[in-house]
Structure 1
Amino acid sequence: MLAAAVLAAGCTIEDDPDTTEEAGGCDPALVSGLGRWADAGFSGTVAITGEGVECRAAFGTADGTAPVTDETVFAIGSVSKAFTAAAVLGLAHDGLLSLDDTAGSLLPGLSGPAAEVTVEQLLLHTSGLEGEHGRDHEPLDRDAAVAAISGLASAFEPGSDFLYSNAGYSLLALIVDEATGNYRDHMADNMLVLGGERFGGFWDGEPAAPGPRAVGRVDGAPSTANGDFAGPFWAMEGNGDLAMTAGELADWTRALFEGEVIDPEAVQALLDTTFDNGDGTAEIPGWVSVGPELLGTPVITASGGGGDTGHNAVAAWLPEQEVSIAVASNGEDVTAGDLVDAIGPALAAGEPIPLPEGHAEVDPEELQAREGTYVLDSGGSYTVTAGEDGLEAAATGADAVAAMFASADFTAEDVAAHEALVEALLGGETEAGREELEAVEGDIGAIEEVRLAGTAVEQDELRTYVELVTAEQTVLGWYALDERGGIGGVWLGAERPVFTLVPTGEGEYRRELAGVGDGVRVVFDGDAMTVTGPAGTAAARRE
């Protein structure tokens, strides 16, 4: 998936005009191509580490002013699970627990279905635990976390199926805490150490990751989750709590699989503990193993993002090349995941990386001339405003949002299934739905009607927007659910989804420039606005 390592032959180049620092050790063609992706909106760091290879390339700005460098710290989100899994495998090797142990036998006070699942099932997301035990950056102490996880239901017989679970990895962190005396101390002293030196740390709380921190963007605005949350932190411990530079993540990934973080026997146990997904990939603790039939070479990868930090991270290990790669980003236009999705297949095939479509010269007068409200025949609308580098189109109505939908990761069927799950949730058809309705109505009043307002891909996840109608107000919000209807993310009081339109010439625009090939294209002709994409063609006219 990231066979760029094969191209990175160890040559050193001078500063590239598209990078914000020296791209030492990187293949010049690779850096030049990445620079084009930076022009299209990628802001972050690419790091490649292997025998004779040490590539670092940084692009964009860390906080809107200061440049991203190799020293810039990013929250790595769910890639933190790889560290938690390594800690658990290390403790198992040391005889402090067994992968066959039930969670209840290791953690006093735990009850309910969670107590009956094994450590191995938690590591592989096959425990069946559904729902969340807490929300990011909301205080949750240890006892409350144990109680909340004890109250989670089971979606299936443990070990029989796969269901991604943040709560499951926080339960593993609680098990580490019980076995060692302190989860954070154990992670800092054992997992966040390379060559005898500590590195990285936690995004919130102590020990904190040292170094300048990138400021992410969430829904078009700078993130306010800048690491000043005072805790307690058990909603995110073990499942998305760590932070470091991309270079540190690449170095740690290589050190892990080469047996320098945990004993080589523990590494082998990690590789041997699997759940076959049936599509050429398999879950292993904290990672996904991708077979050579899919990408031409075996790859072990982990990714994280989609949270309120506005950061995105991908780590990969190429065992045949003995090379590790990490990409971290702090922008919305082209995330680390977007970049990997776009260039990975070509790299795996040994072809030049595809480049984003060119950006036409911006004419501020032309942008201002496009401003206004454009109404679709079906009733929805776009409020178009001029930005610095293009247009921003705020979509009102499910039809307007649907016309702008394009994704390499999600299909129209995925959208329909997600919207059905949101309707079931807010219809109170599940226990989780009834609990959510009770919480929401406690905030905004009794809900008289729920209207779907469209589904968009934001922060690499499906978000279905809804209008919650009460006797006194209509509140816009969005829900991101897992495949079984568990809440992965929710935001009430949200703004309308906004789509960036970048000029490509002659009144034509493209929805961002992250995509290659098919995407959403918009043409303005006088008062007419035509949107063409995977959903078909929609015509709107300016009021």
Structure 2
Amino acid sequence: MLPFNLILAAAMLTSSQADPATELRAKLDELGKQNFSGVLYMEKDGKEIFFHSVGYADPESKRPFTRQTGIEIGSIVKPVVRVAMLKLAEDGKVGLSDSISKYFRDVPEDKKPITLQMLMNHTSGFQDVFGGDYEPIKRDALMQKMLEAKLLFTPGSKDEYSNCGFSMLATIIEKVTGESLERHIARTQFTPLGLRRFGYVLPNWNRDELMTGYGSKGERWGTPREKFWYKDGPSWNLRGNGGMIATAKDLATWSLAAHGGRLLKPGSYKLFMPSWAEKPPSATAISMSAGGNGIFNTVLAYMPHHKLVLVAASTDGRFEIENHLRPLYPLMLKVAGG
């Protein structure tokens, strides 16, 4: 007969191996040896089912990650702007087939065929960026640069990623509504959902609430608010296409609302998720958005069959969490009971 302590140890080992959440935490801790420092947060049916952090939100002060830590979400701003534009279309304030010439004066002939839908689909022909994220440039100055620049291709003929295309969408939203982009999104999306920790400046972020980033050589990069920002938000090289900050909880809540019919009417949702409109999502379908600036890397994923949303964020330029997350999806589904 085995001694009691060996029996107990074996039982504990079996229990640990059978617990998906414990296994997932161990996997994330292992990634810490590969320079992962960040968080993974999961919700199912609007309720938290998993939270785990590795490393520190600020290594110098040993400040830990919490559920209230502000995450730089990068290009995940773009789906938020798309929802804003689709809601304006629902209200008849814009038409997705409208030419940009309806919203800007003296649009050159080569750019008159560009529509709002093309801006949303990255088929406008505009180049990606016109300057660094934190290089100062105001809204109208960037729009003038865009209208004067040579297009990469005939509008609508192919797709090529364009950050500045979403800055133009943000400008159109401001022109149509008479509100700043952030205030409009807060009024029509965040406030109705009870989201107070999502935005550029309206959440009034404190430096001690934010993740501190590190570069590809392990050097301190800092927080987004240590870089150049105007009083109402970042440079327009970043405005509308990136740079917002959110807690994992608020980002997850927004995702569930966007996919769950709380923000868009069914017809608009089909435009938001055209692939699912053509073919219903399978049991393994995932809608994934990712954002990064070479320092921070954030992933927002939604699995409709399981009503599961996850937010993962990392703070080290030597580690891209997106590349390491996919192999963990089956384990995450086990955590969710799927």
Instruction: Output the TM-score relative to the length of structure 2.
Output: 0.81
CA–CA distance in structure 2, aligned partners of residues 154 and 122 of structure 1: 13
Which ranges of structure 2 fall in alignment gaps of 5 or more residues?
Answer: 1-18
Instruction: Say if 2:20 and 2:331, in contact at 8 Å, map to a contact too.
Output: no
Superposed CA deviations along residues 349-393 of structure 1, whole A, max 9, x for unmatched, are 98xxxxxxxxxxxxxxxxxxxxxxxxxxxxxxxxxxxxxxxxxxx
Say yes or no: does 1:59 pair with 2:54.
yes
Q: In structure 2, which of residues 247, 253, 256 is the aligned counterpart of residue 254 of structure 1?
A: 256
Which residue of 2 is the match for residue 186 of structure 1?
Answer: 184
Which residue of 2 is the match for residue 37 of structure 1?
Answer: 31
> Matched residue of 1:27: which SS?
helix
Instruction: Say if 1:199 and 1:244, in contact at 8 Å, map to a contact too.
Output: yes
The structural deviation recorded for 1:112 is: 5.7
CA–CA distance in structure 1, aligned partners of residues 241 and 306 of structure 2: 29
Q: How does 1:98-117 map to 2 (within 5 A)?
A: 98-108=95-105, 110-111=107-108, 113-117=110-114
Instruction: Say if 2:281 and 2:304, in contact at 8 Å, map to a contact too.
Output: no
CA–CA distance in structure 1, aligned partners of residues 292 and 280 of structure 2: 20
Which residue of 1 is the match for residue 199 of structure 2?
Answer: 201
Structure with max Cα Rg: 1
> Matched residue of 1:316: which SS?
strand
> Matched residue of 1:95: which SS?
coil
> Matched residue of 2:165: which SS?
helix
CA–CA distance in structure 2, aligned partners of residues 255 and 212 of structure 1: 25
The structural deviation recorded for 1:153 is: 2.2
- In the alignment, residue 314 of structure 2 is paired with which amino acid? S
Which residue of 1 is the match for residue 7 of structure 2?
Answer: none
Structure 1 pair 226/157, CA: closer, same or farther in 2 (3 Å)? Answer: closer
The structural deviation recorded for 1:206 is: 4.8
Which residue of 1 is the match for residue 316 of structure 2?
Answer: 331
CA–CA distance in structure 2, aligned partners of residues 349 and 254 of structure 1: 17
CA–CA distance in structure 1, aligned partners of residues 136 and 66 of structure 2: 32
Q: How does 1:428-467 map to 2 (within 5 A)?
A: none
Q: What is the count of residue pairs matched by the alignment?
A: 306
Q: How does 1:228-307 map to 2 (within 5 A)?
A: 228=226, 229-231=228-230, 233-272=235-274, 297-307=284-294
Instruction: Output the TM-score relative to the length of structure 1.
Output: 0.52
Which ranges of structure 1 fall in alignment gaps of 5 or more residues?
Answer: 1-24, 275-281, 351-543
Q: How does 1:96-135 map to 2 (within 5 A)?
A: 96-108=93-105, 110-111=107-108, 113-135=110-132
Q: In structure 2, which of residues 296, 308, 311 is the aligned counterpart of residue 311 of structure 1?
A: 296
Instruction: Say if 1:80 and 1:240, in contact at 8 Å, map to a contact too.
Output: yes
CA–CA distance in structure 2, aligned partners of residues 86 and 53 of structure 1: 24
The structural deviation recorded for 1:26 is: 7.7
CA–CA distance in structure 2, aligned partners of residues 193 and 57 of structure 1: 27
Structure 1 pair 50/109, CA: closer, same or farther in 2 (3 Å)? Answer: farther
The structural deviation recorded for 1:312 is: 0.7
The structural deviation recorded for 1:208 is: 4.1
- In the alignment, residue 38 of structure 2 is paired with which amino acid? G
Structure with a larger share of its residues in strand? 1
The structural deviation recorded for 1:93 is: 0.8
Superposed CA deviations along residues 220-240 of structure 1, whole A, max 9, x for unmatched, are 211145314233621111111
CA–CA distance in structure 2, aligned partners of residues 114 and 241 of structure 1: 27
> Matched residue of 1:48: which SS?
strand
Instruction: Say if 2:56 and 2:65, in contact at 8 Å, map to a contact too.
Output: yes
The structural deviation recorded for 1:109 is: 5.1
Structure with a larger share of its residues in helix? 2
Superposed CA deviations along residues 239-270 of structure 1, whole A, max 9, x for unmatched, are 11211122221221111100223344422331
> Matched residue of 2:210: which SS?
coil
Q: Give identity over the alignment, percent.
A: 27
